[in-house]
Structure 1
Amino acid sequence: MTTDVATKLNIAQALERLMKDGLPFRFEAFDGSTAGPEGAPLTLRLKNERGLAYLMTAPGDLGFARAYVSGDLEVEGIHPGDPYDAMVLIMSQLRFKVPSAAEMLQIVRSLGFGNLKPPTPPVEEHLPRWRRAFEGLRHNKKRDAEAIQHHYDVSNRFYELVLGESMTYTCAVYPSLEASLEEAQFEKYDLICRKLDLKPGQRLLDIGCGWGGMVRHAAKHYGVKVIGVTLSREQAAWAAEEIKRQGLEHLAEARHGDYRDVLETGFDAVSSIGLTEHIGVRSYPSYFAFIESKLKPGGRMLNHCITRPNNKTTTTGAFIDRYVFPDGELTGVGRITVAAQETGLEVRHVENLREHYAMTLAGWCRNLVENWDACLEEVTEGRAKVWGIYMAGSRLAFERNEIELHHVLAVKPGAGGDAAWPLRPTWLS
């Protein structure tokens, strides 16, 4: 072994050994070592040995998240509610290299073998996939309910502060670059109503209804009788109260439960806004078969969900799986349209709205920043940091076409193939 390899490294030197092109930010460690350019717009400060152990035992986004969420890693130069600029800098300029076995041994020996023992994860972290397996197969009713509750049953007040007046946690549709978040959320619901060709007196089933935004919009503005269903008890309670406050009880209902337990049938339309991401690709056949079974002939379905730019099936990364959407799974719009077609639904229109989701996430981050102190009265600082990381990171992913947002509009043809469909789209007028 050469003298250089045998030399003990400080933390900053160890980090530099892993970089291809140096650091685009300033780095300071609790052992007094520093690296990166002075005067950089961003400073990462590793405060203690637990943070170092987080980074060593889970290299990548999970270890970073653990250290950051726990407060063991500070990022100076950003607001924790919107770390978008920091993520752009890091993801565009940070390049890791693969060290030789001798270099890796030197790094680990210098940093301490004791730091290869994983510390207890932050309280905000969900169980890993292998431990969730003891709860049963993915996407059974019990495990789905627990996954949804982990994310959504946080604090309705927290969501009010982040999401805004519409209380809508799905991609908005911006009618113009100047439109506000609230205007864009109104347009999203209205566009879906127009695509479904809703008319007074018709019946709509909204599965995965969240806080009831679609339920209320369809009832209030289109005179439709709506049943919404969500696995989140907190969402259902909030939605029911808002329906009552707006005097829509004669038209709208928000239920707490699994969509698979809905017994009513013969609906004129079914909307699913942000649910498909949670159900798993293997469940697509039964999911679309359920929707088809609930529609009357000529009835329409609108499926709104996050997709991949290819048709490979991928689980979410470690950070998203542990901190945001346990058991989440994404694939391309092609897989969705095939699954819908194979149940007898006829796909009539597909639209990609990924830029709109990037704009939506920017709006949510602005709300989190503006309401940061109030948010910390509702959730831990670690939980608020999680939301900042994942929303800013998701914004960047939509901008880079790493993920997309698709509307798939389909119809259940009647006897002889009659789809009751206009010659040209009517929802654009």
Structure 2
Amino acid sequence: MTLDTTAEAPVPEEVGRLYDRFVTLTTEAPSSNMHYGYWEGPHDTAPLEVATDQLTDLLVRQLELGPGRRVLDLGCGLGIPTIRLARTTGAEVVGITNSHEQARVARALVEKEGMAHLVTIAHGDATELAAHPSGSFDAVMALESIGHMPDRETVLKSAARVLRPGGRIALTDFFERAPLPADKQEALDAYFTKFMMTWVGQIDAYPGIVRAAGLRLSSLTDISEQTIRRTFQQVPRSVVDNLPKPADVSQLPEMDQFGAVAIGLVDVWELGYLMLVAELPGD
């Protein structure tokens, strides 16, 4: 079994409102990054808030950036990876989110961190980048955001337009590692429905999507073992400890819904997590 890929795609404005509601949750939770973590292996004992930075760093390294470069962060959320990218590379970064509340919090964080000279946060739709001229960025990053967008090919075409020739895009996404058993279907459906995500299917779908967007695939890596299970295991314990037993997830407060759905996926190893790097052909 697998997810119902015929389900109606999320509307960008609705995704924005979803993250408007999550702003309180993410700013109060121990890991306000709201991203998956990356652990090098069993020896890596980093807590989730450190592992999320490690995932950001892994993705940033694929972009080969430095001072004087210009980067677009598609789906920048609260701006934590955006700021980290700018601080570690010296590149100028424009972050886009379709959540008004995330944009507000991210702008305040940019000011607090003294990064306004390198980081700009804008409210907008990542599938429509009309405000940005063609070839105006050296790189594009999409950390766990493309799954919220109605059509991956459209997003990548839009990203390709704003890239300069030779520019790179690096992203992460979920995929199906193996056929999903019937007894795990409900947990996975709940996760994708609750968080308004679309399904790419198998990892082999991506080369065709990248090619159709006018990009050249550089690498496509399964990093599920370094990310998925330990992220779900380290969902804030206060969420899990306070869940009623048994819990009707739909009746729980939003914070508790997040915890309940995530904990239900700890043993769904069929859910995979990939990292993709592509570039716009040219000099």
TM category (shorter chain) comes to: 0.7 to 0.9
Cα distance change of structure 1 residues 386 and 286 upon mapping to structure 2, 3 Å threshold: same
How far 1:218 moved relative to its partner?
Answer: 1.3
Q: What's 2:110 paired with?
A: 243
Q: What's 1:170 paired with?
A: 35
How far 1:273 moved relative to its partner?
Answer: 1.0
Q: What's 1:120 paired with?
A: none
Q: What's 1:268 paired with?
A: 138
- Taking only the aligned residue pairs, the percentage that are identical comes to 24
What are the superposed Cα offsets for residues 396-420 of structure 1, whole Å, 9 maximum, x if unpaired?
A: 22xx2x21110001111215xxxxx
Matched, 1:384 2:255: yes
Cα distance change of structure 1 residues 170 and 155 upon mapping to structure 2, 3 Å threshold: closer
Alignment of 1:324-339 (within 5 A): 324-326=194-196, 328-339=198-209
Counterpart selection for 1:354 from 221, 224, 228: 224
Q: What's 1:292 paired with?
A: 160
Q: Which runs of 5+ in 1 are unaligned?
A: 1-132, 373-379, 416-429
How far 1:191 moved relative to its partner?
Answer: 1.4
Q: Which runs of 5+ in 2 are unaligned?
A: 1-6, 244-250
Q: Relative CO higher for 1 or 2, CA cutoff 8 Å, sep ≥ 6? A: 2
> TM-score, normalised on structure 2?
0.82
Counterpart selection for 1:345 from 203, 211, 215: 215
Cα distance change of structure 1 residues 178 and 271 upon mapping to structure 2, 3 Å threshold: same
Aligned residue type for 2:17: Q
Aligned equivalents of 2:137, 2:187: Cα separation in 1: 33
How far 1:381 moved relative to its partner?
Answer: 4.6
Aligned equivalents of 1:332, 1:148: Cα separation in 2: 27
Aligned equivalents of 2:149, 2:22: Cα separation in 1: 23
What are the superposed Cα offsets for residues 305-337 of structure 1, whole Å, 9 maximum, x if unpaired?
A: 11112699x999653355x12353342222122
Q: What's 1:426 paired with?
A: none
What are the superposed Cα offsets for residues 180-227 of structure 1, whole Å, 9 maximum, x if unpaired?
A: 222212211111111111111100001011111221011111111001
Cα distance change of structure 1 residues 234 and 325 upon mapping to structure 2, 3 Å threshold: same
Counterpart selection for 1:396 from 261, 267, 270: 267
Aligned residue type for 1:340: V
> TM-score, normalised on structure 1?
0.56
Aligned equivalents of 2:68, 2:281: Cα separation in 1: 21
CA RMSD, Structure 1 to Structure 2 (Å): 2.8
Cα distance change of structure 1 residues 184 and 414 upon mapping to structure 2, 3 Å threshold: same
Cα distance change of structure 1 residues 367 and 260 upon mapping to structure 2, 3 Å threshold: same
Counterpart selection for 1:406 from 271, 274, 279: 274
Cα distance change of structure 1 residues 383 and 183 upon mapping to structure 2, 3 Å threshold: closer
Aligned residue type for 2:96: V
Alignment of 1:73-92 (within 5 A): none
Aligned equivalents of 1:227, 1:357: Cα separation in 2: 28
What are the superposed Cα offsets for residues 261-283 of structure 1, whole Å, 9 maximum, x if unpaired?
A: 43224211001111221123xx2
Aligned residues: 261
Aligned equivalents of 2:238, 2:83: Cα separation in 1: 23
Q: What's 1:212 paired with?
A: 79
Cα distance change of structure 1 residues 319 and 184 upon mapping to structure 2, 3 Å threshold: closer
Asked if the contact 2:16–2:100 (Cα under 8 Å) also holds between the matched residues in 1, the reply is no
Alignment of 1:119-138 (within 5 A): 138=9
Aligned residue type for 1:247: G
Q: Secondary structure at the match of 1:347?
A: strand
Asked if the contact 1:310–1:331 (Cα under 8 Å) also holds between the matched residues in 2, the reply is no
Q: What's 1:102 paired with?
A: none
What are the superposed Cα offsets for residues 63-101 of structure 1, whole Å, 9 maximum, x if unpaired?
A: xxxxxxxxxxxxxxxxxxxxxxxxxxxxxxxxxxxxxxx
Q: Secondary structure at the match of 2:261?
A: helix
How far 1:145 moved relative to its partner?
Answer: 1.2
Aligned equivalents of 2:73, 2:30: Cα separation in 1: 20
How far 1:256 moved relative to its partner?
Answer: 1.4
Q: Which has the larger radius of gyration?
A: 1
Aligned equivalents of 1:304, 1:337: Cα separation in 2: 14
Q: Secondary structure at the match of 1:215?
A: helix
- Structure with the largest fraction of helix: 1
Aligned equivalents of 1:371, 1:255: Cα separation in 2: 36
